[in-house]
Structure 1
Amino acid sequence: MRFDVDKLDPAKAAVVVVDVQNDYCHPDGACARRGEDVSAAKEMLPRLQALLAGARAHGVPVVFVRTAHEKATDSAALTVRSGGRSGVVCRAGTWGAEFFEVAPLPDEPVVAKHRYSGFVNTRLDSVLRTLKAETLVMAGVSTNVCVESTARHGYMLDYHIAFMGDCCAAFTEAEHEAALVNIDKYFGSVMKADELLGVWDTAQFG
């Protein structure tokens, strides 16, 4: 679905970076150690870094969302998922929970989440409303899990969704592509980073 350029106004947008963390992306992280292919995360990082640089240059707020599992939020439903493997990923305060090859600037908000959607029992909506964001520029990992869950939730909270397909990664190409089809059909518009940056560089916003 094509995106209305007016909705990409830097004054009304925010970039939301989801779960770009060692346990999900690093070859020594928990997901790689259990056999998941994390190579797509490494491959997309230059495009994500370019997106962040462009957003910052145009004054678009960047919000980092990261998983932080801890005993206080380890429900039975969470800890039994994937045979208990999900509960050991991104434990709060560990190396695995640290950001992977991206990092927030000192004034950029960081939101800790405990479930797939970055909106569930977090301050993300309050942060975005305070920033007066109307459009969420979505990026991160995994495309079909936490990025898609956060984007879908955001859409249902009445945000416009610009989903950066080439700034997301999943453990398989099939999962990645299926998520992009689903988002583009029902929840937002799938775009590429250079397409969005081109709009920010050339479009005239009122």
Structure 2
Amino acid sequence: MENFIAWNFNKNKAVLLVIDMQNDFVKEGAIMEVPMARRNLPNMKKILDSCRQHHIPVIFTTHVLFDEYEVSPLEVAYQPWLKKEGMRSGTLGVQVVDELKPLPSEITIQKHRYDAFYNTQLETIIRNIRGAGIVDTVIITGTVTNVCCESTARSAFMRDFKVVFVGDACGGFDDASHQATLTVIDKVFGRVMSTEELIQQIEKN
């Protein structure tokens, strides 16, 4: 079973997902600060640049809450400080960090659950962004590794998408949960690659 690879990566059938790399997660002192996301930001930028260079479509997600009502009530119940602030629609905190700023032609999907597929247009966009039925692989980068990134990876797998999960281009709250997610993804839900390995795969195809 060692070195077994269930499928090969084809850049011409892939899209890049940049999950929730917004100011309220990445900036120092932010309400939902994830230092690992900030630390791995250079790797995310390398992947973003490579995908753009090789015409791999890029889709961003942002996690959005509202002042008017609790659009994600159980999330807020577990994290009560979000009742008053954080990831609010229309604020700077919900915007993607400048280092990864979406191009005007790139799509940003707002979501209200950890799983980026849940009640969003993500699946429809992925299945058509390169032409109907062409995309079969999603590359996942961003934050939080064991929350939104993992939830989205599992959901992609359930929809029969191949998952490339870039271990050093995701950011977790801590090393233990980050590594646990990488172990689970690599065994069951996808292929864990490093930034260097993914870029090599992109450049050789």
- Aligned partner (choices 77, 81, 91) of residue 80 of structure 1: 77
- The alpha carbon displacement at 1:3 in A equals 4.7
Point out 4+ residue stretches in structure 1 off by more than 4 angstroms. 1-5
Please state whether the residue corresponding to 2:49 is helix, strand or coil: helix
- The alpha carbon displacement at 1:78 in A equals 3.2
Number of paired residues?
196
Superposed CA deviations along residues 95-137 of structure 1, whole A, max 9, x for unmatched, are 1111123111111111110000000100000110112321000
Change in 2 beyond 3 A, CA 1:170/1:105: same
Change in 2 beyond 3 A, CA 1:157/1:148: same
Matched, 1:196 2:201: no
Superposed CA deviations along residues 139-171 of structure 1, whole A, max 9, x for unmatched, are 000000000000100100110000001100111
One-letter amino acid matched to 2:29: D
Task: Let me know the Cα RMSD of the aligned residues.
Answer: 1.7
Q: Percent same amino acid among aligned pairs?
A: 34
- The alpha carbon displacement at 1:68 in A equals 1.2
Matched, 1:112 2:110: yes
- Aligned partner (choices 43, 50, 71) of residue 46 of structure 2: 50
Q: Distance in 2 between matches of 1:2 and 1:53?
A: 29
Q: Distance in 1 between matches of 2:147 and 2:159?
A: 18
Change in 2 beyond 3 A, CA 1:97/1:158: same
- The alpha carbon displacement at 1:86 in A equals 3.9
Please state whether the residue corresponding to 1:158 is helix, strand or coil: coil
Structure showing the higher helix proportion among its residues = 1
TM-score w.r.t. structure 2 length? 0.89
Please state whether the residue corresponding to 2:100 is helix, strand or coil: coil
Change in 2 beyond 3 A, CA 1:146/1:9: same
Q: Is the 8 A contact 1:2 1:189 kept in 2?
A: no
Q: Is the 8 A contact 1:17 1:139 kept in 2?
A: yes
- Aligned partner (choices 79, 93, 98) of residue 96 of structure 1: 93
One-letter amino acid matched to 1:198: Q
Q: Distance in 2 between matches of 1:86 and 1:163?
A: 28
Q: Is the 8 A contact 1:5 1:199 kept in 2?
A: no
Q: Which residue of 2 aligns with 1:133?
A: 135
Please state whether the residue corresponding to 1:54 is helix, strand or coil: helix
Unpaired runs of 5+ residues, structure 1, are 33-37
Matched, 1:24 2:12: no
Q: Distance in 2 between matches of 1:69 and 1:103?
A: 20
TM-score w.r.t. structure 1 length? 0.89
One-letter amino acid matched to 1:134: D
Q: Distance in 1 between matches of 2:156 and 2:18?
A: 13
Superposed CA deviations along residues 26-73 of structure 1, whole A, max 9, x for unmatched, are 1131124xxxxx321111111110001101111100100111112455
Q: Distance in 1 between matches of 2:4 and 2:96?
A: 32
